[in-house]
Amino acid sequence: MDNTKILAIETSFDETAVAIMSGRKLISNVLSSSVDLHKKWGGVVPSIARKAHLDNIEYVYKEALQRGGLEIEDIDYIAVTYGPGLAIALEVGLQFAQNLAYDNDKPLIPINHMEGHLLSPFALNSNGKSVLPDGKDIKDFFPAMALLVSGNHTELVYADKIGDYAVIGETLDDAAGEAFDKVARMLNFGYPGGPVINHVVKKYRSENKNWKSTIGEFALPVPMKDSGDLNFSYSGLKTACMYKIKELRESGINDSEWAWKFCNEYIDVVLQSLEIKLEAALKKYPDVRSVIIGGGVMSNEIIVRGIGRLSRSMDRDFLIPEKKLRTDNAGMIGVAAYFQVAGGESGLCDRDVFSLDRVPNLRLGDEVF
Amino acid sequence: MKRVNLDEKLIQTKREDIINLAVEALEKSGLVIYPTETCYGIAADATNQAAVDKLLRYKSRREGKPISIAVLDESMARNYAEINEIAHSIYANFLPGPITVVSKAKDTLADGVSSEFTTIGIRIPDYPLVLEIIKKLGRPITATSANISYNPRPYNIDKYLKETPEKHLKHIDLIIDAGILKPNDPSTVVDTTLNNMNVMRQGRIILSKQTSEKDPVLSAITNKPEETVDFGGLNMLKFIDVPLEQPLVFLLSGELGAGKTQFSKGVGKQLGIDRIIKSPTYNIMSEYNYDQGHRAGKLIHVDFWKLDNYDLLKLNEYMRPGNVLIIEWADKFLSEMLDDFDKSSAKVIHVVFKPESLTSRSIKSYEIKEGELLQNDG
């Protein structure tokens, strides 16, 4: 079995992450937010300021090697995210990767962050286990439709095969995860707000078995329902929430009286907006054999369940990466690099590694390397 | 180590005894394993240094990972942390439950639970027995999961005992066994110390008196997103020649959902940018090239909402002729920006969004002269 060792680095936003692959097997996957940097910087939520400190990446890198039981000499390739993302954040990982590759004479593989999300269900965990349905080859899942939804992105991607992608729908303004955070903010939920909304809705639904009858009370609009294309938009929903919350507060009713129901309806309209577009995309591309999901919003089990139900009802395999591979991480970058190497990519060598520049607004299908 | 069973049927008779045993152990700086709605937790008196030290020895290799605490209610929390408006809202509306609320710690807890300039995570477990123990003790207990570092979170005491080496187990004084717990996820951690209310309330940019009394250079009342886009275009058109000589900066003030991104789309459209102008909240800064013959440069769209350090962005490098900058949530780093405006001789337009009715908003653009932009310290 292939046991090429790839060390992958991801710093596109506020997370600093390093992972190691042995073939398709993810043997080490370390995030700065989960290692013990707390005392140093205070706070538990990742932050741009904290990540910019280069000693963070050094620490995460060493921890990844140690957990993988490897030395840098054992590594065959270095992989790094070069976009999309925040320029100053991408630079941290890119410079570290360039120096690491050059100093240790390893080829450097540039990876598009979104390709990482898209290929993450094809990782094997450290025990060699897969999340894929049994009895199929990876190529049997393609063409695939990926629905990638995070704080930063809301995209539908048609993947003809590994390495061949086209963005067929995207948000025109806010990403769905961003809207979650902002509406949570309006509700005074703290940061990150998405998981709190999810918690509130789960509890509400378990205590109110007939919760469906309360949906529609706040008249929240399902975004882009009739737009006729595959694009998304969440700024109108956000504005509708702002006015509704204002109206409720001005009427003098306590938040605790309505916030539960409000969150319940909010999740429902977001899910509907995703379902409507996915359904339209699957109808438009009947050759698609599987639906792949990724991104932080796909940690929300209510959303995942809805998308899974829809995919199966349309006779598509539903590929869902392990939970820790859905939010930003370096494991997914390693998986994408694995497939590039397997496809014959040899990477940048020697001084050429320094020719790689970050591309903050990189899109799938626009890769320059 | 003593192990007691918290059997549903026995609760009436033994409940009181179990609470007494737990409180007694905690008062003697002991460690108590207890059930919660997420997994088994381990309690030490969070104000007792000897107890917390013992917990850290038991856990081993913590290296500064935060330990959260469990309290009875919001008023107990206030003794140990600064509870701001957001935190208060969560306590009032959503606790008890599996949410850990991070606040700024007061100096009233043992070292190792909180330390200098650190935050503290606080929970109110949705588990009556635990609340009764805290009530009787009168102080918060630690609320970290009962496993030692790198072991799985425990849901089953027999399994936990097998997985935990004797040298760790010897620190445990009491185990309250409630059988096999439902494998619920750990609690959701919410940070209330970021973006505190005062900073994040919009409209804090204030102008010197003569400016605020003067008329806006442009104003509109918009009822639909498209009208806000058009008004953005109008603003860009009005100042279209400015970037030939100096950087042009739009500072946008308005609440969440006020239409700031729509305004930005209009500016982009006027510059002939055909890429979709999206909200820059998560990317913090988006860059778009425009080229209209003798007018060419970059549109830099910035949102300070999630930024915690202005200098990292090196915004001054973008403040040069040719470039148009749109800055959302500019209030957050206004004083830092004033210096950069000054050095780059930027032309600054302040655009204020205010809700007019439930469906419409008024948008007013003011041209800012040197010295007219003030930092509001209140």
**Which candidate, A224, A243, A226, A244, places its Cα nearest to that of A234?**
A224
Q: Read off the pLDDT of residues A290-312 as tens digits, 9 standing for 90 and up.
A: 999 999 999 999 999 999 999 99
Note down the domain range covering A209.
138-320
Confidence of residue A49 (pLDDT cuts 50, 70, 90): low
Q: The sheet that has A154-161: what strands, in order across it?
A: A164-170, A154-161, A144-149, A290-294, A317-319
Q: Which CATH number belongs to the domain containing residue A113 in this structure?
A: 3.30.420.40
Assess whether pLDDT exceeds 50 at residue A41: no
* Residue A170, helix vs strand vs coil: strand
CA–CA–CA angle A307, A312, A315 (5° rounding): 135
**ipTM of this complex prediction, to 2 decimal places:** 0.79
Q: What is the pLDDT of residue A369?
A: 56
Query: Do the strands B97-105 and B119-124 form a parallel or antiparallel pair, or are they unpaired?
Result: antiparallel
Asked whether residue A361 is domain-assigned, the answer is: no
Superfamily (CATH H level) for B2-194: DHBP synthase (3.90.870.10)
Asked whether residue A119 is assigned to any structural domain, the reply reads: yes
Tell if the CB–CB gap between A188 and B98 is shorter than 8 Å. no
Backbone angles phi, psi at B45, to 5 degrees: -65, 115
CB proximity B373 to A under 8 Å = no
What pLDDT score does B13 carry? 55
pLDDT at B317 over 80: yes
User: How far is the C-alpha of A77 from the C-alpha of A93, rounded, in Å?
Assistant: 15
pLDDT value at residue A287:
97
Q: How confident is the model at residue B184 (pLDDT cuts 50, 70, 90)?
A: confident
Of A14, A238, A247, the CB nearest to B256: A238
Whole-number pLDDT of residue A169: 97
Residue A122 shares a structural domain with residue A208: no
Average pLDDT over residues A95-121: 97
pLDDT for residue B358: 74
pLDDT, position B92: 87
Question: H or E segment at B243?
Answer: helix B242-245
- Supply the pLDDT for residue B202: 38
User: Contacts of residue A47 in chain B, CB cutoff 8 Å?
Assistant: 194, 308
**Looking at residues B225-242, what average pLDDT do you find?**
94
Give me the DSSP letters along A89-131: HHHHHHHHHHHHHHHHT--EEEEEHHHHHHHGGG-B-TTS-B-
Q: Is B185 left (phi over 0), alpha (psi -120 to 50) or beta?
A: beta
Phi then psi for B201, rounded to 5 degrees?
Answer: -65, 130
Q: Is B197 helix (H, G, I), strand (E, B) or coil?
A: helix
A249 contacts chain B (CB < 8 A) = no
CA of residue A121 relative to chain centroid, distance: 12
Confidence at residue A352, expressed as pLDDT on a 0 to 100 scale: 94
Domain assignment of residue A118, yes or no: yes
Q: Which chain B residues have a beta carbon less than 8 Å from that of A182? A: 256-257, 281
Burial label for B117, CB within 10 Å (0-12, 13-18, 19+), is exposed
How much is the pLDDT for B293? 87
What pLDDT, on the 0 to 100 scale, is given for residue A84?
93
Residue A286: what are its φ and ψ, rounded to 5°?
-65, -15
Query: With 60 as the cut, is the pLDDT of residue A38 above it?
Result: no
pLDDT above 90 as % of chain B: 47
> Residues B349, B367: contact at Cβ < 8 Å?
yes
| Chain B touched by A236 (CB under 8 Å) | yes
Q: List chain B domain ranges.
A: 2-194, 198-374
For residue B196, the model assigns a pLDDT of 45
Residues A217, A99 within the same domain = no
B37 HSE (CA, 13 A, CB side): 17
> Which residue type is seen at A83?
G
> Looking at the structure, do residues A308 and A217 belong to the same domain, yes or no?
yes
Interface contact flag, B285 A87, Cβ < 8 Å: yes
- Inform me whether the C-beta atom of residue B79 falls under 8 Å from chain A C-beta atoms: no
Own/partner pairs for B334-342, CB < 8 Å, 24+ apart? B334/B205, B334/B373, B334/B375, B335/B375, B336/B310, B336/B311, B337/B310, B338/B373, B338/B375, B340/B315, B340/B316, B341/B249, B341/B373, B342/B370
Instruction: Determine the pLDDT at residue A35.
Output: 54
Partners of B222 in the beta sheet?
Answer: B361
Q: How confident is the model at residue B307 (pLDDT cuts 50, 70, 90)?
A: confident
SS3 label, residue B37:
coil
- pLDDT for the residue numbered A368: 57
**More confidently predicted of A89 and B202:** A89
Under 8 Å between Cβ of A22 and A2: no
Contacts of B117 in chain A (CB under 8 A): 42
CA angle B228, B234, B240 (to 5 degrees): 140
Q: Cβ contacts (< 8 Å) between A238 and chain B: which residues? A: 256-257
Residue A192: band (very low, low, confident or very high) from pLDDT cuts 50, 70, 90: confident
Q: Label residue A61 by pLDDT band (50, 70, 90).
A: very high
Q: What tokens appear for A35 in the block?
A: 């290692």
Average pLDDT, chain B: 85
Interchain proximity B262–A13, CB inside 8 Å:
no
Residues of A in contact with B259 (CB under 8 A): 239
Q: A233 CB near a chain B CB, below 8 Å?
A: no
A107 lies in the same domain as A240 = no
Q: What is the pLDDT of residues A98-108, one digit of tens each?
A: 999 999 999 99
Question: According to CATH, what is the number of the domain B198-374?
Answer: 3.40.50.300
Same domain? For A330 and A316 the reply is no
* Mean pLDDT on A263-288: 97
Nearest Cβ partner of B193 from A43, A49, A175?
A43
Res A318: pLDDT: 97
| The pLDDT value given to residue B204 | 45
**What is the tens place of the pLDDT at every residue in A209-221?**
999 988 999 999 9
Q: What is the pLDDT of residue A186?
A: 87
Cβ neighbours of residue B364 under 8 Å, at least 6 residues apart?
B216, B218, B219, B351, B352, B354
Looking at the predicted structure, is the pLDDT value of residue B10 above 60? no
- Note whether residue A364 is domain-resident: no
Residue A224: the pLDDT is 95
Locate B182 and state its tokens.
């439902």
Cα angle: B296, vertex B297, B298; to 5 degrees: 140
Put simply, the chain A residues between 191 and 230 with a CB less than 8 A from any chain B CB are 191-193, 195-196, 198-200, 203
pLDDT at B306 over 90: no
Q: Indicate if A58 and A111 belong to the same structural domain.
A: yes
Same domain as A40, residue A168: no
Average pLDDT over chain A, rounded to whole? 90
Instruction: Look up residue A253 and give its two tokens.
Output: 């009713």
- Token pair 């005992």: residue: B161
Mutation site, A81, A235, A302, interface B, largest B CB count within 10 A: A235
Least confident of B277-286, B325-334, B369-378: B369-378
Share of chain A above pLDDT 90, in %: 70
Determine whether the interchain pair A189/B89 forms a contact, defined as Cβ–Cβ distance below 8 Å.
yes
What is the share, in percent, of chain B residues with pLDDT greater than 70?
Answer: 88
The shortest C-alpha distance from A193 to chain B (Å) reads: 7
Of residues B66, B86, B101, nearest to A38 (C-beta): B66
Asked if A100 and A12 sit in the same domain, the reply is yes
- Which helix (H) or strand (E) element contains residue B268? helix B260-270
For B286-300, the pLDDT digits (tens) are 999 999 988 999 999
- For residue B24, the one-letter residue type is E
Tally of domains within chain A: 2
Better-predicted residue by pLDDT, B372 or A300:
A300
Helix (H), strand (E) at residue B128: helix B128-137
Using an 8 Å CB-CB cutoff, list chain A residues near B99: 196, 199
Chain B residues with CB inside 8 Å of A256's CB?
Answer: 92-93
Give the CA angle between residues B99, B104, B106 to the nearest 5°.
115
Instruction: Report whether pLDDT(A40) > 80.
Output: no
CB contact under 8 A, B194 and A185: no
Element (H, E) at B130: helix B128-137
Measured between beta carbons, which residues in chain A are less than 8 angstroms from residue B284? 48, 86
Same domain, A335 and A312: no
Residue A369 in any domain: the answer is no
Res. A367 pLDDT band, cuts 50 70 90? low
Adjacency order of strands within the sheet including B144-145:
B2-5, B174-177, B32-34, B41-43, B144-145
Residue B200's pLDDT is what?
A: 38
Whether A336 and A211 share a structural domain: no
Q: Which amino acid does the sequence have at B6?
A: L
Instruction: Answer whether A235 sits within 8 Å of B276, measured CB to CB.
Output: no
A348: amino acid identity, one letter:
L
Note if the bond before A84 is cis, omega within 30 degrees. yes
pLDDT (tens digit, 9 = 90+) per residue, A313-360?
Answer: 999 999 999 988 998 999 999 999 999 999 999 999 999 999 999 998
Q: Name residue, tokens 């939970």.
A: A323
A160 domain-assigned: yes
Res. A4: pLDDT tops 50 = yes
| Mode of pairing for the β-strands spanning A77-83 and A108-112 | parallel
Average pLDDT over residues A228-245: 93
| pLDDT above 70 coverage of chain A, percent | 93
Contact A56/B at CB under 8 A: no
Chain A hits for B195, Cβ within 8 Å:
185, 191
- A313 and A171 in a common domain: yes
Mutate to test the interface with B, among A36, A241, A299 (most CBs of B within 10 A): A36
- Per-residue pLDDT, A42: 40
Angle of helix B225-238 versus helix A235-250 axis, rounded to 10: 110
Q: Which of A171, A188, A192 sits opposite B278 (nearest CB)?
A: A171
B13: three-class secondary structure by DSSP: helix
- Do A159 and A177 have their domain in common? yes
Predicted local distance difference test score (pLDDT) of residue B38: 84
Q: What is the pLDDT of residues B59-82, one digit of tens each?
A: 875 555 678 899 999 999 999 999
A39 to B282: CB separation less than 8 angstroms, yes or no: no
| pLDDT tens string B91-103 | 988 888 888 888 8
pLDDT of residue B360: 86
